[in-house]
Amino acid sequence: MRVETLLNKFSIKGINYNLNSGGKGLLSAEEQLALVGLCWHESPVGWLVLFVEGLRDTKALKQLHIETRKEALRLMKNWRGVYPEKALIALCAAAIAEATQQNGQVCPECNGSGKVLSKCNHQRKCQCCKNGRIEWTEETRFSYFAQVLPVTYNRFKRYSIVLNQLIFWIVNNRKIAVCAMELQIKKEGCDLIV
């Protein structure tokens, strides 16, 4: 059922709700798992991102942190100067947060509704977000990073180069996983017709 939830997130129907078929599944649970298995090798990191994003899977999040840390170490191999272990943790946390919440973070002032109550109990548009989401900017990235490693903004600018590369790497892996899944489903659809 959880795999079907993930597939539905990308408008891939596992169950046909057409009245003529009586709700018979287009893809059974076993076929859905096989689909993931066939596409997994294309981008394991991308699948971890999808599991974190769509299913809030904590085991996948831990594994994604490990893989992102490896990539951060690779990117920082020629880094001039020192950096603490907390910098890697902060980079991974900020990159994963942005990559899995591409529309922005849920606004803490309005809890994602986009509206707040004034002193007179009138509803007003929330001043600090856009439709309940705080978009990712350099400042919001800095605040997220500084929750783990409180550094000055000037020091963060040095880390932000690596952070932007990590975000790109994670989002690119996610796209590869989604494309692989869509291609496999199209291929399976053609096989079902023949």
Please tell me the predicted confidence (pLDDT) of residue 29: 55
135-151 pLDDT, tens digit each: 999 999 999 999 999 99
Q: Are residues 174 and 185 in contact, defined by beta-carbon separation less than 8 angstroms? A: no
Please tell me the predicted confidence (pLDDT) of residue 31: 62
User: Would you place residue 168 in the very low, low, confident or very high pLDDT band (cuts 50, 70, 90)?
Assistant: very high
The residue with tokens 């539905």 is 8
User: Amino acid identity, residue 149?
Assistant: L
More confident residue, 189 or 143: 143
Q: Are residues 169 and 70 in contact, defined by beta-carbon separation less than 8 angstroms? A: no
56-70 pLDDT, tens digit each: 888 889 999 999 999
The average confidence (pLDDT) of the chain is 81
Distance CA 191, CA 38 (A): 15
Q: Are strands 133-134 and 105-106 parallel, antiparallel or unpaired?
A: antiparallel
Q: Are residues 77 and 83 in contact, defined by beta-carbon separation less than 8 angstroms? A: no
